[in-house]
């Protein structure tokens, strides 16, 4: 599935948040959206998964206008793990994963045998089959994120939008979550905070600054010391790691007086 | 000891939150509801034996009546059929409606603390109902005028509370509770002014009726509209049980799961106002039922709306029937307003929920 975004703009009242965003995600690609806090990463994603309505711009999914699709149709094509994971009510892990089947259900429909199989497969894939009956509220941050990913896997979409999926997780969980996503072999557009992780997992990157796309390209093209300094205001040393073959970014903070 | 243990594990197996035995639970609750109705009809300043109650009711059912000999006193029949039976049934319907309204409002604002009483919806419905009676605004609608004016009040208050407490697309909890309190005070004051200044126009209804609720005036004619409303709303809510579950995950998440969130919220406002309005028109404000019953239900069967809705409706009905029995027995032959009793139990629960909610964050 291919996603094409053309000249997308969004403003809260008169206050523009993102302006003239154009990006594409080709089938099978893992594309990262990076940029400092408040640069508009989440806003771009929210406009794509229709939590916000853009003021201008076109979004095409395989040549179809995304905004012309019904909510239900869109939910069978795009799966989303957003930043909402505060749940004020008790649900079991299994019930939450079962919600992923919602777009395929009509009013009154119960879960069929096929749904149950898909749900248990998703749980097994994320390695949380043993927690199926546990209460979501009692899980740790990393476990919760695995449950939300299992839900989106049960949704069976070819395209995933992830909004900082590794936020608040320890490094072990960060890598585990991104490995799970990478191994799904679906098309992914993800907002990421950690530049080293972005370099390791993404095929291409878009850098956002003040609501505009500042630069785009492969991690090697985008993650140069100059651009990192321009966007984040911090000096960095960028090298290729001999074992992984991926970029390795070392930050050089001013307090260390390295000149 | 051993027998006791297995008894408890049996109960645990039925009411286990992960996989409750729904058919068993529903069957038991229906049984308890029927028994409660029969017992509650018999209890009051003048008591009637349960067996007599059952036979009087049986004698009203076609086919069955030929087998029942009318050996009871005419007075008993008048009490059972004319006074208590409609009252107990009204209690059942009002309890179910208020509890299900609680569930719908809790899904709308994603919070345990929502309830038609706490968020001022009951007060809004009372205020417009009294206004409607005073000025006869909806009098062309005949017997349903009162219910329809109460519905408008309920809808108006829900929308106001919801709009005031939404900050940047999210419900702000302190704002929600404060706006609910403020609106309910305003609306209660309006009701008080109207009922005190125009007592004749309002007939039997007095201030206590609107502010503390009562089932005392129940007649058969009062039952039809609220009963039809709760059935209609239950069907709509059950049809959308997946959407309600998804809404608890948040508006955005519900959207990504394929639900039209705007339309769902409108549906919830409409359904809640319908149930609250028709209920309040016949019973006044009975507080905290919509808070207590959904909470107890979730403790028993978890949060999945497919299970919460039917269990909640039955439990709510049973609870109100028994609280009403207490209301007419505690200081008999005088009656306590039923809302006074629900507040005594519901208030502390609300405080406890509030404490627990803030502790979690």
Residues of B in contact with A84 (CB under 8 A): 249-250, 252-253
Q: Which of B19, B242, B249 sits opposite A84 (nearest CB)?
A: B249
Residues of B in contact with A82 (CB under 8 A): 250, 252-253, 256
- Could A92 and B17 be called an inter-chain contact, meaning their C-beta atoms sit closer than 8 Å? yes
Given a cut of 90, whether residue B323 has pLDDT beyond it is yes
DSSP SS3 for A165: coil
Q: How far apart are CA B86 and CA B89, in angstroms?
A: 5
Residue keyed to tokens 């049973």: B318
**Percent of chain B scoring above 70 in pLDDT:** 89
How many C-beta atoms surround the C-beta of residue B244 within 10 A?
Answer: 26
Taking the CA of residue B258 and the nearest CA in chain A, the distance in Å comes to 4
Q: How far apart are CA B171 and CA A253, in angstroms?
A: 40
pLDDT tier for residue B1 given thresholds of 50, 70 and 90? very low
Q: How far apart are CA B135 and CA B130, in angstroms?
A: 9
User: Chain A within 8 Å of B248 (Cβ-Cβ)?
Assistant: yes
Given a cut of 60, whether residue B3 has pLDDT beyond it is no
Tens of pLDDT along B250-269?
Answer: 889 999 999 999 899 889 98
Report, as an integer, the average pLDDT of A120-144.
91
Task: Report the mean per-residue pLDDT for chain B.
Answer: 85
DSSP SS3 for B205: coil
User: Residue B356 is encoded by which pair of tokens?
Assistant: 């627990």
Q: How far apart are CA B106 and CA B268, in angstroms?
A: 10
Tens of pLDDT along A16-58?
Answer: 999 999 999 999 999 999 999 989 999 999 999 998 899 999 9
Report, as an integer, the average pLDDT of B221-247.
94
Strands A30-34 and A187-191: parallel
To 5 degrees, how large is the angle CA B159–CA B161–CA B167? 105
Find the residue in A nearest to B248 (Cα): A87
Q: How far apart are CA B225 and CA B219, in angstroms?
A: 12
CA atoms within 13 A on the CB side of B19: 4
DSSP SS3 for B61: coil
Residue keyed to tokens 């959207």: B255
Question: How high is the pLDDT of residue B193?
Answer: 86
Q: How many CB pairs under 8 A join A and B?
A: 89
Q: How far apart are CA A54 and CA A65, in angstroms?
A: 13
Q: Which domains does chain B have, with CATH numbers?
A: 88-360 (1.10.3470.10)
B208 compared with B183, residue with greater pLDDT: B183
Q: How far apart are CA B131 and CA B152, in angstroms?
A: 11
Residues of A in contact with B249 (CB under 8 A): 84, 87, 96, 99
Q: Which domains does chain A have, with CATH numbers?
A: 3-256 (3.40.50.300)
Closest of A39, A205, A194, A238 to residue A252, by C-alpha: A238
pTM of the entire structure?
A: 0.88
Return the minimum-mean-pLDDT range out of A153-157, A190-194, B162-166, B350-354: B350-354
């Amino acid at each position: 599935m291919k996603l094409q975004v053309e000249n997308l703009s969004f403003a809260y009242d008169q206050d523009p948040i993102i302006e003239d965003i154009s990006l594409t995600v080709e089938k099978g690609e893992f594309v990262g959206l990076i940029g400092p806090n408040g640069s508009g990463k989440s806003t771009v994603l929210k406009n794509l998964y229709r939590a916000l309505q853009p003021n201008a711009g076109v979004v095409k999914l395989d040549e179809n206008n995304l905004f012309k699709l019904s909510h239900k149709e869109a939910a069978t094509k795009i799966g989303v793990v957003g930043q909402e994971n505060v749940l004020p009510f008790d649900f079991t892990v299994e019930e939450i994963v079962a919600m992923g089947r919602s777009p395929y259900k009509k009013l009154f429909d119960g879960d069929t045998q096929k749904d149950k199989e898909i749900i248990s497969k998703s749980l097994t894939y994320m390695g949380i089959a043993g927690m199926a009956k546990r209460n979501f509220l009692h899980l740790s941050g990393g476990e919760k994120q695995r449950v939300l990913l299992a839900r989106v896997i049960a949704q069976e979409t070819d395209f995933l939008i992830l909004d900082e999926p590794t936020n608040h997780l320890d490094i072990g969980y960060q890598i585990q979550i991104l490995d799970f996503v990478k191994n799904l072999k679906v098309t992914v557009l993800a907002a990421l905070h950690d530049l080293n992780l972005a370099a390791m997992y993404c095929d291409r990157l878009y850098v956002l600054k003040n609501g505009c796309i500042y630069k785009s390209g492969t991690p090697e093209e985008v993650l140069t010391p100059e651009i990192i300094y321009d966007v984040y205001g911090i000096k960095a040393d960028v090298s290729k790691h001999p074992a992984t073959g991926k970029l390795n970014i070392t930050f050089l903070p001013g307090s260390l007086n390295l000149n | 000891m051993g027998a006791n243990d297995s008894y408890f594990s049996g109960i645990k197996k039925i009411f286990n939150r992960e996989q409750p035995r729904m058919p068993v639970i529903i069957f038991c609750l229906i049984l308890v509801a029927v028994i409660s109705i029969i017992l509650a009809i018999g209890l009051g300043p003048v008591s009637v034996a349960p067996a007599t109650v059952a036979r009087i009711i049986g004698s009203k059912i076609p086919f069955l009546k030929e087998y029942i000999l009318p050996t009871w006193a005419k007075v008993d029949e008048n009490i059972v059929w004319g006074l208590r039976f409609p009252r107990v049934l009204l209690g059942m319907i009002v309890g179910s409606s208020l509890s299900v309204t609680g569930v719908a409002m809790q899904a709308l604002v994603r919070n345990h603390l929502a309830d038609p009483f706490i968020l001022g919806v009951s007060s809004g419905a009372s205020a417009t109902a009294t206004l409607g009676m005073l000025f006869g605004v909806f009098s062309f609608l005949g017997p349903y005028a009162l219910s329809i004016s109460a519905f408008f009040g309920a809808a108006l208050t829900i929308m106001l509370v919801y709009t005031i407490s939404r900050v940047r697309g999210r419900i702000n909890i302190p704002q929600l509770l404060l706006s609910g309190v403020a609106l309910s005070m305003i609306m209660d004051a309006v009701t008080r002014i109207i009922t005190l200044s125009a007592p004749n126009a309002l007939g039997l209804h007095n201030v206590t009726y609107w502010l503390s609720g009562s089932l005392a005036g129940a007649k058969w004619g009062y039952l039809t509209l609220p009963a039809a409303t709760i059935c209609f709303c239950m069907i709509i809510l059950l049809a959308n049980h997946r959407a309600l579950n998804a809404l608890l995950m948040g508006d955005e998440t519900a959207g990504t799961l394929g639900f039209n969130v705007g339309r769902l919220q409108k549906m919830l406002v409409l359904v809640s106002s319908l149930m609250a309005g028709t209920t309040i028109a016949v019973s006044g404000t009975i507080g905290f039922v919509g808070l207590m019953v959904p909470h107890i239900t979730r403790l028993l069967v978890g949060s999945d709306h497919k299970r919460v809705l039917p269990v909640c409706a039955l439990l709510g009905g049973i609870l109100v029937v028994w609280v009403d029995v207490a209301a007419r027995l505690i200081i008999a032959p005088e009656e306590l307003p039923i809302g006074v009793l629900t507040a005594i139990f519901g208030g502390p629960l609300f405080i406890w929920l509030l404490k627990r909610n803030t502790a979690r964050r």
